[in-house]
Amino acid sequence: MTDPFPERTFRTDLIALVPKLRRFALSLTGNRQDADDLVQGACEKALKNWAQFQPGSRMDSWMYRIVQTLWLDDRRRHKVRGTAIDPEDAYLSDEGKAASLPEDRLMLEKVRAAMLTLPEGQREVLALIAIEGQSYRGAAETLNVPVGTVMSRLSRARENLLPRLGLAEGRRQ
Amino acid sequence: MTNSSIIDREHLAAFADGELSPEDAAAVVMHLADHPEDQAFVDEVMAANIALARAFHAPLQEPVPDRFTALILPETAAQEAVAARVLPFRAKAKPRLWGAGLIGGAMALAAGLAAMAILPGAAPGLSVGPVAAASALHQILTATPSGEVVDFGGLGNLTILASLPATDGFCREFEVISPDALQLQVGLACRAGSAWTVDVLLAEALVSDPAASGNYVPASGGDVPTIDTWLERRGAGLTLSPAEEAAAMAQGWMP
């Protein structure tokens, strides 16, 4: 059965995805303002090209990809202009929403800061798999790279990230 | 276990990420029992996954900011703004626009297509009095659920706001936003037997434009009648729930 109102369906599906897109964008940019600007740009692009979306395929992957492409474009432009994101300057706090205990909050701050130090390719893969819960195959489709590339970027991301988090220290033995 | 003494870290991470088949995962579990250093790595990966998910979780707990609603569902955003301005002449706030989040852009619904066919140009499709059985308005009043936006030809977008039981049948409250979004009309149509009658139309200029109210009763400013006056005359009860409305519609609005 064909949907008699495909654009309306597209728009309602898109608005339902906004919270996840904002989370994904936040994990890429590390600050709320840039994340929302990124999501806004991605939604504008999606609305302009909505007819290219294949109904029945995964809209989240389609949108993650638009967000990721725009983010990379922005990063390149910033690099050309010579500005770099300094993790110390970035607004990383969520005002304690995710954690109530101070040491827990400190740990989450550490996670956010560590994420910002990762190269783009590793950050994207880690965000899609660890935060957005995509499968390796799903992430590969979103990023349009082979599954093997996803796996090697993921292990490099973890090699970089895990020592910074100090999660191994607290364990017994 | 013959060959389980070495499992590479990619495979262990895939286990932590839930990527392995049940058989492969079971093999890793067996292996981990004898290899605490690998168990430690799996624990660390899992702890990092959880920490990452928590670190960026905040947007999922927040309502969608207005800038995105305005961009993606401009019609809903406009209606919410209109609803805020209209409130004064609706003494009793009614549960309105069920499922407003589901209303899309300016798409013609099936009834809207009929409306455009039947309402050529500036034909007065909306006036107080009996509603012709062949008209688009009759069709919309009979078959459109509350909250759904219908393209009402040249007159703009019509939305049924609520359905209510009345002494002789049912009443439906509706609003029409003009195509230029400058004027809002709120009306009440009631059904007795098989015919709908528009009891009242109230108009309000959404942007101050005194010329816009035309023949209609101005709905704002000063001592003006409200829809509630007409609802009371019809002996209207409480707004029907979506399920009750659907049932009434299925029974052809027979009391």
CB < 8 Å to B45, chain A: 158, 162
Enumerate residues 86 to 115 of chain A having a beta carbon within 8 A of any beta carbon in chain B: 94, 97-99, 107-108, 111-112, 115
Complex prediction ipTM? 0.86
Of A152-161, B207-216, B240-249, least confident by mean pLDDT is B207-216
In Å, what is the CA distance from B70 to each residue of A38, A43, B229?
Answer: 16, 11, 34
Mean pLDDT of A55-71: 93
- Residue B186 is predicted with a pLDDT of 86
From the CB of residue A6, how many other CB atoms can be counted at a distance below 10 Å?
15
Report how far residue A171's alpha carbon sits from residue B86's, in angstroms, rounded to the nearest whole number: 61
Q: What is the rounded distance in angstroms from the CA atom of residue A158 to the CA atom of residue A168?
A: 13
Instruction: Report the alpha-carbon distance of residue B17 to residue B53 in Å, rounded.
Output: 13
pLDDT at residue B208, as a whole number: 45
| Token couple for B68 | 């995105």
Whole-number pLDDT of residue B254: 87
Q: How many angstroms separate the CA of residue A159 from the nearest CA in chain B?
A: 10
Between B75 and A147, the higher pLDDT residue: A147
Q: What is the DSSP letter of B107?
A: P
Q: How long a stretch of residues is chain B? A: 255
| Residue entry with tokens 């292996």 | B31
> Between these two residues, A20 and B154, which has the higher pLDDT value?
A20
Residue A98: per-residue pLDDT: 59
Lowest mean pLDDT among B54-58, B76-80, B249-253: B76-80
Q: Hey, what amino acid is at B113? A: L
Q: Are strands B183-192 and B157-165 parallel, antiparallel or unpaired?
A: unpaired
CB contact under 8 A, B48 and A20: no
B110: pLDDT confidence band, cut at 50, 70 and 90? very low
- Collapsed DSSP state (helix, strand, coil) of residue B210: helix
Q: Give the closest-approach CA distance of B64 to chain A in angstroms.
A: 7
The two three-digit tokens of residue B89, written as one number: 């002449």
Tens-place pLDDT, residues B159-209: 998 999 998 899 999 988 887 777 778 889 999 888 899 988 887 766 544
Per-residue pLDDT of B26-59, as tens digits, reads 999 999 999 999 999 999 999 999 999 999 999 9
Instruction: Measure the CA–CA gap between A45 and A18, rounded to whole angstroms.
Output: 14
Pull the structure tokens for residue A16.
């339902």
Whether B59 contacts chain A with CB within 8 A? yes
B71, pLDDT greater than 50:
yes
Contact A63, A21 (CB under 8 A): yes
Question: Cα angle vertex B148, ends B176, B206, to 5°?
Answer: 30
A164 touches chain B (CB under 8 A): no
Q: B35-39, B105-109, B146-150: lowest mean pLDDT where? A: B105-109
The larger pLDDT score, comparing residue A55 to residue B124, is at A55
Contacts of B12 in chain A (CB under 8 A): none
What three-state secondary structure class fits B202? strand
**Facing residue for A18 by CB, picked from B17, B58, B68:** B68
